[in-house]
Structure 1
Amino acid sequence: MFDYLIVGAGFAGSVIAERLASQLDKKVLVLDKRPHIAGNAYDHYNEEGILVHKYGPHIFHTNSRDVFDYLSQFTEWRPYEHRVLASVDGQLVPMPINLDTINKLYGLNLTSFDVNDFFKSVAEEVDTIRTSEDVVVSKVGRELYEKFFRNYTRKQWGLDPSELDKSVTSRVPVRTNRDDRYFTDTYQAMPLHGYTAMFEKMLAHPNIKIMLNTDYHEILDVIPFREMIYTGPVDEYFDFKYGKLPYRSLQFKHETLEKPVHLPSAVVNYPNEHAYTRVTEFKYLTGQQHNKTSIVYEYPMAEGDPYYPVPKPENAEIYNKYKKLAEATPGVTFVGRLATYRYYNMDQVVAQALSQFKKIKAKGEPEQVDGAKVELGQKGVALGNRALEAGSNGKPSKNGKEKAM
């Protein structure tokens, strides 16, 4: 009998698994449909011995001391400040837009005081900021919006910025100084030996068992458990009752090159040319010394593994229906970006998981009735007695293409 079944071995599932096992002495089974732990943060050594991120670059940054201290239990850190260049008008210029970006792009020699006036002179007045386009043109005007944001956003989201919620571009700052760091968080570092090694230590507790290449439906009749932590797509859990929640996906093209360095910075964005949005060189991130280098091209896709929830009001309405179902489902806790239809940075997922653990801890033990677990509602089918009742073979309905992560 496991106390908890955790669906998904990414940040959300692994953090809660570790906390339940180490702090509450719970028996935990972690499942994932993929053949590895660590979710989208999974990294590995390729055939040439270069450490690469399978699902694109993952840069750790946070302002939370609690999150950083928590993860520090499972890894040493390599200090790393991320820098990005954008290919615009035949030049590579700093991104986010800063003083050097403007001077290089326009052949100017502005100071920090001057560039603030420059932005004010080109910014458009927007009465109510609702869309991603509104955010950018109100800060830097129409021309810079066209050069840096519009086409990049179209590629990334398959939508014009005028169709997207303001939250998409609100994340990108504009600076009046020469700070060319992509992030300004207090803690910026990379796991010294990689993300997968960090996850391995996180999940090494003797109370935690792991099953990979496993759809959770496959074990519902076989392995008894008391409660479920679900980190997969919430719409799939409920068999798309209210329709499919839209996501943008990515396709990654990895290449290893016969030279020690290829790019002038860790990442180069391509807002206006090529089908891909950006190219990343991993050795900048990892600090690895190698006579070859490995890069990855990112191609946004409409279909594929779910990466980015599409932030539009109609999608939020659909999610809110699923949220009500999730809240009314006893014995199942929904955690993580897919289960809550939110785009979270890694540190935000960790913070959410730690917060959810505190709620579980405060709630105390699952109710017991004559030694049996309470019934858990899933897709209208009680799971509570599925492994305790002899001969029971009732399963929740299953969509053939469901993914736990």
Structure 2
Amino acid sequence: MMFDYLIVGCGFAGSVIAERMASQCNKKVLIIDKRNHIGGNTYDYYNEQGVLVHKYGPHIFHTNSREVFTYLSRFTDWRPYEHEVLASVDGQLVPIPINLNTINQLYGLNLSVDEMAAFLGTQSEKVAPILTSEDVVINSVGRVLYEKFFKGYTKKQWNLDPSELDASVTARVPTRLNKDNRYFTDTYQAMPLHGYTRLFDTLLSHPNIHVMLNTDYEEVKDSIPHQQTIYTGPIDRFFGYCYGRLPYRSIDFRFETFDMESYQSKGTVNFPMSQLYTRITEFKKLTGQHHPKTTIVYEYPVEQGDPYYPVPRKENQEMYNKYCQLAAALPDVHFTGRLGTYKYYNMDQVIAQSLTLFKKLKAAMVPPSANGAVINLKDAVKP
């Protein structure tokens, strides 16, 4: 069987393209994954105790894109959910990102919004130009709060000092002058009502889509007839690491289930200080599931393992750019997703990226004539 598209990876990056090509262009699609499940890193399942958990750590959907939210809403109902995170600092659990409540609780103050701005003004150290993650935080809240909330957490997460990381890493966690404890401020914040895996079941249910799991692309790429490839795996692996391996950080997830209804007050608690793990997440807070037991996960950043986080540094970007030059020479292979484009994307950004790629590919398709012959596009636009 000849497939129009061989898509590598059953996460959002690949599955969105698969669904669009199948449903909008009537293309025959084979989507493969080396894992034994669909859903990529958002895969969730019910554990032995019956608690719905995320196998690869917490995934909270949030976006400002109406297009992305409307698109996903075709495949799932939603549970409204606004994520809140606490940080364990100086023996207290205080809101993160840093806001007015954080400072008042941490220092026993009762500052107003205007007084908060003045307080941070006394703490911050103006840095120019802002080049690193350390620069971002010190310029915003100063060295004391940087040491309490960011330095240790970032060092654990990336195994690099914030002064060695691109500014984009800590810029993802802004400082607020108000009392908004939400981790995200996006217009659309929700969780799939029945979980991510159920969403993917629906997303990939089109009869033109064929799914093969436990399948390594390298082992089947030459034996499955196909016209074009969508690749969402690590771009350096696709090219045999010819310029070297792009660095990634991985996570060791350690789950525990307790015979209690609730373990902690919020869905996630960060630990920026001396613990080896970075955070603890309690899944029932995210999913809204009612269950007499609860499951949590500890996250221990590690060097080896599944590639989760591209490491944003200048030299890594330069290596990626070399791989991009190789990719540009392959007109029938298209790269998308966090690993395929070596960018630290959120879920909604991955979906938006694949929707954009679909529109580009669709626009490039040569329209058939009425009798089935191929129209020459140059002739088609002649008066």
- TM-score, normalised to structure 2, is 0.95
Number of residue equivalences: 368
Deviation of 1:107 (Å): 1.1
Pairs within 5 Å for 1:4-403: 4-365=5-366
AA matched with 1:25 = N
CA distance in 2, matches of 1:53, 1:188: 18
Deviation of 1:264 (Å): 1.1
CA distance in 1, matches of 2:111, 2:17: 50
AA matched with 1:155 = K
Deviations 1:129-172 (A, max 9, x none): 00000000000000000000000000000000001010000111
Distance 1:176 1:298, change over 3 A: same
Distance 1:170 1:366, change over 3 A: farther
CA distance in 1, matches of 2:219, 2:316: 30
Question: What SS does the aligned partner of 1:250 have?
Answer: strand
Question: What SS does the aligned partner of 1:9 have?
Answer: coil
Question: What SS does the aligned partner of 1:5 have?
Answer: strand
CA distance in 2, matches of 1:53, 1:273: 26
Unaligned residue ranges in structure 2 (runs of 5+)? 369-383
CA distance in 2, matches of 1:365, 1:89: 63
Deviation of 1:366 (Å): 10
Cα RMSD, aligned residues only: 1.2
Deviation of 1:112 (Å): 1.1
Report if the CA contact (8 A) 1:277-1:299 is conserved.
yes
Question: What SS does the aligned partner of 2:95 have?
Answer: strand
Deviation of 1:274 (Å): 1.0
Counterpart of 1:398? none
Deviation of 1:303 (Å): 1.0
CA distance in 2, matches of 1:84, 1:148: 12
Deviation of 1:266 (Å): 0.4
CA distance in 1, matches of 2:331, 2:352: 23
Deviations 1:178-211 (A, max 9, x none): 1000000000000000000001100000000000
Deviation of 1:75 (Å): 0.1
Question: What SS does the aligned partner of 1:337 have?
Answer: helix
Deviation of 1:218 (Å): 2.2
CA distance in 2, matches of 1:248, 1:165: 15
Report if the CA contact (8 A) 1:4-1:29 is conserved.
yes
Question: What SS does the aligned partner of 1:349 have?
Answer: helix
Counterpart of 1:388? none
Unaligned residue ranges in structure 1 (runs of 5+)? 368-405
Distance 1:235 1:360, change over 3 A: same
Question: What SS does the aligned partner of 1:154 have?
Answer: helix
Deviation of 1:275 (Å): 0.3
- TM-score, normalised to structure 1, is 0.90
Report if the CA contact (8 A) 1:63-1:186 is conserved.
yes
Distance 1:28 1:202, change over 3 A: same
Question: What SS does the aligned partner of 2:142 have?
Answer: helix
CA distance in 1, matches of 2:275, 2:324: 38
CA distance in 1, matches of 2:208, 2:60: 30
Report if the CA contact (8 A) 1:227-1:366 is conserved.
no
Counterpart of 1:372? none
Counterpart of 1:381? none
CA distance in 1, matches of 2:216, 2:305: 17
Counterpart of 2:376? none
Question: What SS does the aligned partner of 1:36 have?
Answer: coil
Report if the CA contact (8 A) 1:60-1:190 is conserved.
yes
CA distance in 2, matches of 1:266, 1:365: 49
Question: What SS does the aligned partner of 1:317 have?
Answer: helix
Question: What SS does the aligned partner of 2:121 have?
Answer: helix
Report if the CA contact (8 A) 1:226-1:366 is conserved.
no
CA distance in 1, matches of 2:217, 2:241: 17
